[in-house]
Amino acid sequence: MTNPAEGWTRVPAILSFPDTPGFTETYGFAGVSGKVWLEGQYLIPRERPSNTVYLFMHPSSTLHLLPMPQALLGAGLHVLCAASRYPKNDSGLIVEKVVVDMGAWVKDARSRGYEKVVLVGWSGGGSLSLFYQAEAEAPSVTATPAGDTVDLTHAGLDPPTASSSLPRICRARRLDRMARSVRDRRTRPRPARVGI
């Protein structure tokens, strides 16, 4: 879909690959069909070819309407907003499987001619991007903390060109306020207790 007023094109992308988890998975949509289906969108500025794409992915949501991908697109950069197999539902999310999903997006971007894939983690995507990069460079995870087998050592994860993690500022501010309130309690004199 082309947006003539904005000067960019939205290219829908759907990926599918087999997944046989070896355990019953309620969410993730691979349980019955044995296939994972992923949806994403390439946001491409017109008349601005590039060999670099900035990949945004959150464990359980899509990011194409948020300000950061839009700002990069407005700066003339190619952006991929990718979804995992758990769109808008993190109640049964298995983060190791989301890493496999991210690996499928990295491979898809490279198959479309992007030599450089930069992971941009924002909010929950920050820890996901860093976890992905660690496992792509030196895979070590063979099971979830619950003991379910999700072997990232054999997932064939392509290392990204770079990763960037952007924390949510509002959470950092909230944590700072909480820390101040805890410090205040420690330094504030306690009222005298009166026996009953």
Residue 81, token pair as written in the block: 């907003």
Say if pTM beats, i.e. exceeds, 0.75.
Answer: yes
For the cut 60, the answer to whether the pLDDT of residue 175 exceeds it is: no
* Under 8 Å between Cβ of 160 and 125: no
Write out pLDDT tens, residues 91-132: 788 899 999 999 999 999 999 999 999 999 888 888 899 999
For the cut 90, the answer to whether the pLDDT of residue 134 exceeds it is: yes
CATH of domain 2-187: 3.40.50
d(CA 81, CA 120): 10
Residue the block writes with tokens 């001619």: 113
* Under 8 Å between Cβ of 83 and 36: no
d(CA 108, CA 110): 5
For the cut 80, the answer to whether the pLDDT of residue 20 exceeds it is: no
- On the CB side of 109, how many CA atoms lie within 13 Å of its CA? 33
Q: What is the mean pLDDT of residues 51-62?
A: 89
CA angle (96, 137, 116) in 5-degree steps: 100
